[in-house]
Structure 1
């Protein structure tokens, strides 16, 4: 059962205020026990040592004031001489205010155990009214004692009541805490830096950007992870190179017999021209299918990401679509630049525009960007795709067109996913299909 605070669980409240980064949480793990340890040390010192010393010092001052009063009461005629002797012995500065009465004084600016201990000691040792002035000066406090014919004012040096090493103790607590926290922050920052570099390298490599091997640093576990990542990059590169070489050989081997068939058809005069044209069309269709299948299998792994002018790329795609008979409007801001693999993205957008051209009369191509993402929208006024079939249509060899290969959307989704983006099929306002490409900026 979770603890709930005003409709919010304690877990949600803690998650809201806890740092989100590993460095912040690590520093918090170091800081909280350190603060608790210092608080316990302070409480032990303040609750035992400081209280005991405060009681003893306040009791000593109260006893000395009471001794002075007793000496004066014993022989009032020698009051002045008694005051001089006790002042010289105890370090007081005493004056007698003849004919005056005690007045109410404000409480101390910084209340603590000393004022309570001194008041308790004076109450215990004196048998007459008194008041204590704490705010007259930073160097002394004033004790007013009501006498029979006036008020005795006694200035007591503050150093008689306060411990001089108290400030040193506080400085030691704060200084050691800051020093330990600073050392921990420098150490943890070095450890987290290796993890951050590994995360950035993994994200870049996942989006097709070859960042090269990263330098292992930090703790031994982080170094092992970096080394394993470097080995993984090498294996993936070798796999892509071997697959590309194999598929290039397959492409050559498949196209060679098709070329021989085309030449053989051209050298057979007895075949009617119409049938020869149909056979050549079939061969061209087979070559096209082979190219599409190989493109899907090969992907664009060998191309490196680079800063690309998206405005120019989309304009080129729109021009090519118009040459194929499409009616397309392109609304793209000038100088829209993103880091990606341009030919791969061109292939993906071309596939999507070709799909729209086959099923719609009008196509709209729009692009927008923010500081963190790039969005490309392809709208058409065709029949659209039912919501129940959209996920299926993104799979290989799934096509709504009986004559299609079912690879256009799959290739586009694969390319966009390799860039760390996403491909969404939505309803276009006003009817038709809306294809949204989300790419990291």
Structure 2
């Protein structure tokens, strides 16, 4: 259950791993210092001063004349480094307001309370170098001024300053170092994401630690291998499809010169089917070989163009596309993919619905129809190249060669998204193309 409260990003996790131990260590050292050393030293100093005050007070009470009291004050100044004056009009305040919020007073106050049997008052704030302590006597009050460093351990603030200063310095150095390391990983992730969306990311150069550089060079090598594979496959497919056109044209000319017969009609039908297949192969090759740069456009305009082309078939097409949705993508490729979805539905349905919607992370293009639909067990099979639909959706001879949905998913994945199929509430098939924002 604690996992949900931990940071999710690598930068935050590394910062937590590096910086948190530093501050925990410093906090532990601070606690040990103040709870043990500082408090112990201050307690000993305060107890010593309290004992000296008790001794001077007792000597003052036993003195028979002012001359003896002056001599006691001189001895206290010379031997104890404490200034002592007798003030017959001095008063001891009932409440020590100056000591209420001072951390120094707690230790000294406890020692004075244990040592003195007379009212007293202390002031640790009014004098920068001294601590003032007033002790009541029968005929007035003794006013003591003791040096602050003889009452408290005054090095605590310096210790805190260096402790906090070093913690902040170490934290800043760690953050700067980690930011540089994480930036290299983020650049690699951005380059991989861009390549997954069909962008080459040629400006990427591996930087950072040795392990990150190795991952970066491995990514570049993988990218080049994939590009070569796609180029070779595309060139081979386009070449084969193009070379088939020449003998196919000769066959068409030869058939045109033959008299009509059942066999000739069947051969002509096969030739037309072969032409459609070659056209589909060329469309697929053209889609993979496209070097179209991504551009920003209004999705509603693209959907309206596709709907206008679809309506020429005489079928009913409904469009629900908010004009506010804009996206960055390869426009021609996306138009071809959505057009394939619409045309696929138009072959088997009387009514087609095209809609778009946007969430926090995705833009969805949805094409639904009221046709016979597809067996759910074959939802994934129809995306494979050259796969025909079942009999319910294959009664029309213009059903295609099984490349339409392959191109659709290929375009969606080239943009970092995907295409899925499911049963539509309209009665037919529902195709959803989900693209990341």
Q: Distance in 2 between matches of 1:98 and 1:195?
A: 77
CA shift, 1:265, in A, is: 0.7
Instruction: Give the drift of 1:170.
Output: 0.8
**Where does 1:155-234 land on structure 2 (aligned, <5 Å)?**
155-234=145-224
Equivalent pairs counted in the alignment come to 425
In 1, Cα distance between the equivalents of 2:12 and 2:269?
A: 65
Using the TM superposition, give the Cα deviation of residue 362 of structure 1 relative to its aligned residue in structure 2, in angstroms. 1.3
Structure 2 residue matching 1:129: 3-state secondary structure: coil
**Which shifted more, 96-105 or 288-297?**
96-105
Determine if contact 1:62/1:118 at 8 Å carries over to the other structure. Answer: no
1:96 corresponds to which residue?
A: 87
Distance in 1 separating the partners of 2:92 and 2:322: 88
1:337-394 per-residue CA deviation (whole Å, 9 max, x = no partner) reads: 3222223222221221112112211112222335643221212222334545434444
Which one is further off, 158-167 or 225-234? 158-167
Aligned to 2:307: 318
Range moving further from structure 2, 364-373 or 216-225: 364-373
The question of 1:413 aligning with 2:409 is answered: yes
Q: Any residues of structure 2 matched to 1:109-124 within 5 Å, and which?
A: 109-110=100-101, 112=103, 115-116=106-107, 119-120=110-111, 123-124=114-115
* Partner of residue 317 from structure 2, selected from 307, 311, 328: 328
Decide whether aligned partners of structure 1 residues 300 and 74 sit closer, same or farther in structure 2, where only a CA change above 3 A counts.
same
Tell me the secondary structure at the aligned position of residue 212 of structure 1: coil
The residue number in structure 2 matching 1:69 is 57
Aligned mates of 2:212, 2:222 — CA distance in 1: 15
* Change over 3 Å in CA distance of 1:308–1:318 after alignment to 2: farther
CA contact 1:109–1:135 (8 Å) conserved in 2: no
Distance 1:97 1:383 in 2: 112
Do residues 390 (structure 1) and 386 (structure 2) align? no
Task: Give the alignment's TM-score, normalised by structure 1.
Answer: 0.85
Distance 2:388 2:219 in 1: 35
Deviation at 1:214, TM superposition (A): 1.3
> Aligned match of 1:402 in 394, 399, 404?
394
Moved more, 89-98 or 221-230: 89-98
Relative distance call for 1:317 and 1:100 in structure 2 (3 A) is: closer
Instruction: Check whether the contact 2:18–2:174 (CA below 8 A) recurs between aligned residues.
Output: yes
Q: Could you list the runs of 5+ residues in structure 1 that have no partner in the other structure?
A: 1-11
Instruction: State which drifts further: 414-423 or 44-53.
Output: 44-53
> Do the aligned partners of 1:109 and 1:134 also contact (CA within 8 Å) in 2?
no
> Partner of 1:145 in structure 2?
135
Equivalent positions of 1:9-28 (< 5 A) are: 12-13=1-2, 15-28=3-16
3-state secondary structure, aligned to 1:409 = helix
1:237 to 217, 220, 227: 227
| Counterparts of 2:54 and 2:384, CA distance in 1 | 98
Identify if the C-alpha distance between structure 1 residues 349 and 95 changes in structure 2 by more than 3 Å, giving closer, same or farther: same
Structure 1 residues 138 and 377: alpha-carbon distance in aligned structure 2, compared to 1, 3 A threshold = farther
CA contact (8 A) 1:86 1:92 kept: no
Work out the CA distance in 1 between the residues paired with 2:92 and 2:192: 84
